[in-house]
Amino acid sequence: MRAGSAWLLMAVLAGCSGPTGPASTDTSSNALPSLEARVEFLQRYVTFRRGYTDLGFRVVYHDNGGGLVPGPSDWDIRVVATVPPAELADWVPAGAAATPSADTGWFVGVPGAERATGITEWYAGPGSVVGIDRERSVVAYRRWTR
């Protein structure tokens, strides 16, 4: 084997040595016993840190970084939460304009989704949607890959 070929083989095998992100999962918040455990779990799969007084979610995440031919990870993260009123503005995507409605079919399977049924302030973008009920301090959040 030529030196260049050996180097390429080592680089490919090193790239396949293990996961590149959090563990693959399909987890409902119902599987976790406390608010603290739910927050800790969710924070493994989102980049933001928020406060919660109640938290329901379903996280489906596939780490496709391992194996012989690694690929990008894919996910569908669905959250319905009651948050401190002072933190509601943190959920509004920068530069996004509000709309009065959005597709809410994704609520199915999210524990506590009934809290989000009255949301009338929605922000949608490619692969994301956020809904806010300012009166009840409820947030509905979904982020997914296509």
Q: Is residue 36 part of a domain?
A: yes
Query: Is the residue at 17 inside a domain?
Result: no
pLDDT higher than threshold 90 for residue 143: yes
**CA distances, 44 to each of 9, 17, 41, 77, 115 (Å):** 32, 21, 6, 11, 24
pLDDT at residue number 46: 96
Q: How far is 106 from 110, CA to CA, in rounded Å? A: 8
| Three-state secondary structure call for residue 43 | coil
Q: According to the model, what pLDDT value does residue 71 have?
A: 76
Question: Taking the complete model, does pTM exceed 0.85, yes or no?
Answer: no
pLDDT digits (tens, 9 = 90+) for 67-124: 677 778 889 999 999 999 999 999 999 888 899 999 999 999 999 999 999 899 999 9
Residue 76's domain comprises: 25-144
Q: Which has the closest alpha carbon to 110: 131, 130, 85, 140?
A: 140
Helix, strand, or coil (residue 26): strand
| In-domain check, residue 15 | no
Q: What pLDDT digit, counting tens, does each position of 28-70 carry?
A: 999 999 999 999 999 999 999 999 999 999 999 998 887 677 7
Sheet holding 138-144, edge to edge: 25-28, 54-62, 74-82, 138-144, 128-133, 121-125
**Would residue 4 count as lying in a domain?**
no
Specify the pLDDT at position 24: 93
Q: What is the pLDDT of residue 20?
A: 57
7 within some domain: no
**pLDDT tens-place string over residues 7-21:** 333 344 444 445 456
Q: Is residue 84 part of a domain?
A: yes
Query: What is the tally of structural domains in the chain?
Result: 1
Residue 18 lies in a domain: no
Note whether 79 and 139 are within 8 A (CB): yes
